[in-house]
Amino acid sequence: MHERYESPLSSRYASAEMQYIFSPDKKFSTWRRLWVALARAEMELGLPVTQEQVDELAAHITDIDYAKAADYEKKLRHDVMAHVHTYGDLCPKAMPIIHLGATSCYVGDNTDIILMREALLLVRDKLVRVLEHLSKFAEKYKALPTLGFTHFQPAQLVTVGKRATLWMNELLMDLEEVEHRIDSLKLLGSKGTTGTQASFLELFEGDHEKCRELDRKVAEEMGFDATVPVSGQTYSRKVDYFVLSTLSGIAQSASKFATDMRLLCHLKEVEEPFEKNQIGSSAMPYKRNPMRCERICALARYVMVDAVNPAVTSASQWFERTLDDSANKRLSVPEAFLAVDAILNIYANVASGLVVHEKVIERHVLEELPFMASENIMMDAVKKGGNRQDLHERIRVLSQEAGSNVKDKGLSNNLIDLIAADPAFSMLSREEITAHLEPSRYIGRCPAQVTDFLCQDVQPVLERYADALRGEDTELSV
């Protein structure tokens, strides 16, 4: 066990549910379900397939002899035919009709579509759970003023809850993409070796309608409304590109959140959960590194780069089929899903346990608030007879002095003291000047924006996917 490489996505990060979707058991049992669906449809459309044969196949969907399949593949050098023979050994009566008229992509490509759809459903549910955690956080802190940043320089105030809605809005955009992918995925169906359905047309003795009906029956049994309208031997590899682009979008949103959190952790304003016995550094016992958010960023980077794979694969397909897609998609598609699954597991964990240090946030706000209040102070002075241009110049000069005190001398921001002592502002009392140092006066519509967003945009999603909220978050293994 310990002498062979094992993907960290399996051993450390991804959930058991997502790993199962891309497991050999799920893959090859789905192949067998597709063979059952094909045999049943062919029987119903009049081919020499019996109910007894269909029943025999249906009875042996999950009892897969992997050692025997490996032996067959070593001999035949063909994975699909290895499993045909392995299945046939269990189903001797049905052996003559397994895979009748089909090519390898009938099981391979249709299974890939089925697994991607199931994986997207799991991703969708985990996205919803992250949204629920963030919605509670946004509601709780919707009115707590905090420094807004542009260019990572202090800007006008926002609120802690309003900032969370920015993270949530991107996740809602991702959710829409996931929903679209789930709804738009189509099976390849039974298209034959070059997409012409020639083998099935031969089996049905030239009956085109039976060829169409075969596709419909297989799709229905596998839970799909439709198959692709035209294809070569495979479904268009653009489908893989679209799916991984959707996953890349989730990775981008998560990385943005995690990067913001890493910066907030540096500011000591908001931190990710830190467990009682957790060690932040092997050398520095005091450290509280944002390792979970750093892991999100690391895995997100992998997904964003991995999404290039299907783009190149799609662009390089030759005519009706070439095999340089196979080895690549065996890696790129499952691992993108495993990585996004891990990202969302961590995201949910962090979002459900965010630690807000309100006093630190308040201190940072008050350090910058005099600069933000200066315009309002100037307006009050103008109302009492001051010259706007002269007052603007005095505040500019005083602001530079206060800024120098902070940056060059390490002193506190004394802009309010400087303004109060300046003769140009003698028309205002100190109380009138300091009255502008109330943070809630500078957050605009933040609380109302949070309330509107949660009610109008988030709550309908949480209600639509209420079932996804009933379970527990995946426990992190490391």
- Find the helix or strand (DSSP H, E) in which 271 lies: strand 270-271
Which residues, other chains included, contact 105 with Cβ-Cβ below 8 Å and sequence gap of 6+?
188, 191, 233, 234, 321
- Find the helix or strand (DSSP H, E) in which 355 lies: strand 355-356
For 127-269, strand residue ranges (E) read: 145-150, 153-159
Specify whether 180 is catalytic: no
Residue listed under structure tokens 């409304």: 225
Q: Beta strand pairing status for 153-159 and 355-356?
A: unpaired
**From CA 287, how far away is CA 385, in angstroms rounded?**
55
* SS3 call for 107: helix
Which residues, other chains included, contact 266 with Cβ-Cβ below 8 Å and sequence gap of 6+?
none
Distance of CA 125 to the CA centre of its chain: 10
Tokens matching residue 46: 């009049």
Tokens matching residue 70: 């490996």
Distances (CA, A) of 421 to 171, 397, 426, 428, 436: 50, 14, 8, 10, 16
**From CA 401, how far away is CA 159, in angstroms rounded?**
29
Signed CA dihedral, 469, 472, 477, 478: sign only:
positive
Print burial letters for 360-385: b (CB count within 10 Å at least 16), e (below 16): ebbebbeebbbebbbeebbebbbeee
For the CA atoms of 338, 190, 85, 58, what is the dihedral angle to 10 degrees? 80
* Residue 351: closest CA among 127, 144, 134: 134
Cβ(183)–Cβ(118) under 8 Å? Answer: no
Distance of CA 289 to the CA centre of its chain: 23
* SS3 call for 270: strand
Catalytic member of 11, 281, 326, 426 = 281
Residue listed under structure tokens 């397909």: 317
**From CA 427, how far away is CA 47, in angstroms rounded?**
99
Specify whether 248 is catalytic: no
Cβ burial, residue 6 (10 Å; 0-12/13-18/19+)? exposed
| 356 DSSP β-pair partners | 270
Which residue numbers are catalytic?
151, 281
